[in-house]
Amino acid sequence: MKVMCKYLKPMLLAGYMLGGMVLNAQEVKLVRAQALYNEKKPDMAKVCIDSVVAHPETMKRFEAWTIRGFIYFEIYKRTDKTKFNSSLRDTLVASIKRSNSLNPDADYKSNNNKLMSNISSNYYLLAKNYLQDSSNYDKSSTSFNKYKELIKIADTTVDLRDKDIEYNLAVGSHFSEKFNKDKKNTKAFEIAKVTLLKVLELNPIDSSANMNMGVMYLNQATSLIEKIDAGEASIQDVDIIQEDAIKLAKQAEQFFLKVYNQNNKNRKAVLALYYVYRVLLDEAKILAYEQKCKELKIEVTEESSNPKK
């Protein structure tokens, strides 16, 4: 923003001297707002700049809108950086968008992009914090979508595929872990499923996403079988429970096989498949995978429980 100050004053003065025009009150306010901003007095600068952008003579000046964005950013940094809802952030984003719509010169455009990029990074941080600190998927995903929206404005050529994978995998892993600890937490399962499937849509062979999906399904299957083993299911229900467990184990199998087919020495995939075939009571494959486990020095338990993670 120092750069803008350098350009703004000479430009206004040149207009005054060459065109014989008089600096009107709003233009003076614009210079004043810029000066206050540079003097690190954003609260005073805010009052000035709000008046400038509301006035018909200066409301179409991209400089004014950019300066407004930076002034609001200073105040936002102080109080609202970690807030999910921030009118300061909304205003500064709207100001930068307005400046962009008024065909700013290269310097202003570059500053607009820097500010937009900064705000988008803050949104990414919010998305991460809402996930890790409070497991709040709604707020986390809203923040992530805002990050994407703003980074695309800052850099129209940005490729967000890797970021999409990274974020959705983080969400999927977080919630699948929650589900594996508490299988009654169906909301966690649904969130994990949706986000992991998004990862697999972008990269069908992503090992972590495939393993996480598989483990969730296998855990559900083994929970059902454990009900039978523990004598909790009535004999009339055994058939239905087995049917459900088979469906779930077959779902798990397809994800584990994708990992195994990429690397048949992947220890987690080999062990997971061994447990899948235990649920499916497939004697030949149980023996085959038991052998693979031995070769890879993987310890298997005789219980019908699952590998968890």
Partner 1 sequence: MAKRKKVGSQDIEVKNTPAFDKSVNANMVFLLPESSKAINDVSGKSKNKGVLLITENSGGAKSGSSINFIIIDSKQKFEYSKNNAIKAGLKTNDDFKSLAINVD
Alpha-carbon distance 112 to 154, whole Å? 7
User: Does 223 help bind partner 1 (rule: CB under 8 A)?
Assistant: no
Cβ atoms 83, 129 nearer than 8 A? no
Alpha-carbon distance 72 to 43, whole Å? 9
> Running DSSP on this structure, what letter comes out for residue 81?
T
User: Does 229 help bind partner 1 (rule: CB under 8 A)?
Assistant: yes
Q: Identify the residue among 23, 202, 246, 293 touching partner 1 (CB under 8 A).
A: 246
Alpha-carbon distance 306 to 308, whole Å? 5
Cβ neighbours of 288 (radius 10 Å): 14
Instruction: Return the number of the residue (36 or 218) whose C-beta is nearest partner 1.
Output: 218
Instruction: Return the number of the residue (17 or 235) whose C-beta is nearest partner 1.
Output: 235
Instruction: Return the number of the residue (54 or 238) whose C-beta is nearest partner 1.
Output: 238
Instruction: Return the number of the residue (199 or 279) whose C-beta is nearest partner 1.
Output: 279
Alpha-carbon distance 99 to 101, whole Å? 5
Residue (of 185, 187, 206, 186) closest to 197 by Cα position: 206
Q: Identify the residue among 162, 239, 295, 303 touching partner 1 (CB under 8 A).
A: 239
Grouping H, G, I as helix, E, B as strand and the rest as coil, residue 280 is: coil
Residue 299 beta carbon to partner 1: minimum distance, rounded to whole angstroms: 23
Instruction: Return the number of the residue (106 or 230) whose C-beta is nearest partner 1.
Output: 230
Q: Identify the residue among 85, 103, 236, 301 touching partner 1 (CB under 8 A).
A: 236
How large is the angle between the packed helices 87-101 and 106-134, nearest 10 degrees?
150
Residue 224 beta carbon to partner 1: minimum distance, rounded to whole angstroms: 12
Count of all residues that appear for the chain in the document: 309
Alpha-carbon distance 252 to 220, whole Å? 10
Residue 305 beta carbon to partner 1: minimum distance, rounded to whole angstroms: 14
Residue 289 beta carbon to partner 1: minimum distance, rounded to whole angstroms: 15
Binding segment toward partner 1, per CB under 8 A, in 75-83, 87-95, 186-194, 232-240: 232-240
User: Does 284 help bind partner 1 (rule: CB under 8 A)?
Assistant: no
Instruction: Return the number of the residue (281 or 296) whose C-beta is nearest partner 1.
Output: 281
* Amino acid of residue 37: Y
Q: Identify the residue among 11, 281, 287, 296 touching partner 1 (CB under 8 A).
A: 281
Q: Identify the residue among 243, 263, 265, 309 touching partner 1 (CB under 8 A).
A: 243
Buried b (16+ CB within 10 A) or exposed e, 77-104: eeebeeebebebbebbbebbebbbeeeb
User: Does 242 help bind partner 1 (rule: CB under 8 A)?
Assistant: yes
Q: Identify the residue among 103, 230, 299, 301 touching partner 1 (CB under 8 A).
A: 230
* Amino acid of residue 116: M
Residues that bind partner 1 (CB under 8 A): 229-231, 235-236, 238-239, 242-243, 246, 280-283
